[in-house]
Amino acid sequence: MLRVEGLLAQSAISQMAYLDVIANNLANANTVGYKRDEVLFSDFSQVLTGVLTKEGLVAQQVSYGSKPEEVRTIVSQGPLRRTDNPLDLAISGKGFFVVQTPEGERFTRAGNFQVDKDGFLVTSEGNKVLGMNGPIKVEGKKVQVNYLGEVLVDGDMVDKLRVVDFPKPYRLRKEGANLFVAHETGFEPKGYKVLQGFLEESSVNPVGEMVKMITAHRAYEASANAMKVVDELLGRVINEVPRV
């Protein structure tokens, strides 16, 4: 019975972790370039068996239940929305824009850029957008960006946007402000296009996330209610068995 209670507790913890991820996805349903997260679960039996072995007890194969193993970012393309703002850029296809932050290079799909007081192309947080030659300066009257990511100011090419992808982009780590940190070397992807006057919207489907939230909440409530029943049964066993 104690084993059952442990499995139920683990199930409740797993659903709470899942609900936290869903809530964060919903909070960013309107965030430009946001990529939704998914929780990957592993069989709880592997965990329990491992603990038993480590403690020197006899290993047992216990089934049922799961635990959150990893939160993985789904890097699929989000919907593209036309804005006609020349500083709004979107990547159609694979890849990320590269920006310079105080902590080093970071990567983003959010292309709602601006021009700072010094004439550099920057993110909404003020991080400089990088081209092949470093930060891109766009001083002039007319800024154009073609499909190749080449930046032209008043008809003259000043640089080309750096667009990079990674062998395992789902392993990129979110850092906040819609930025990713990479722990592997990037490369220029093939077949992508840079679209000027467009923004990539969040990849979150609010309806789908709400359905997941309802399902996870019901599973959490079921585990919590079952734990109450188990507690009551244990109480009866402790109080009544000695009297027999």
Q: Are 220 and 15 spatial neighbours (Cβ–Cβ below 8 Å)?
A: yes
pLDDT at residue 181, rounded to an integer: 96
Q: What is the pLDDT of residues 60-75, one digit of tens each?
A: 444 445 566 688 899 9
pLDDT at residue 142, rounded to an integer: 95
Helix 206-240 vs helix 2-27: crossing angle, to nearest 10: 160
Q: What is the pLDDT of residues 94-127, one digit of tens each?
A: 999 999 999 999 999 999 999 999 999 999 999 9
Residue ranges of domains in the chain: 1-74, 80-200
Residues of the chain with pLDDT under 70: 1-13, 42-69, 220, 222-244
Helix 2-27 vs helix 44-54: crossing angle, to nearest 10: 130
Q: What is the pLDDT of residues 194-211, one digit of tens each?
A: 999 999 999 999 999 999
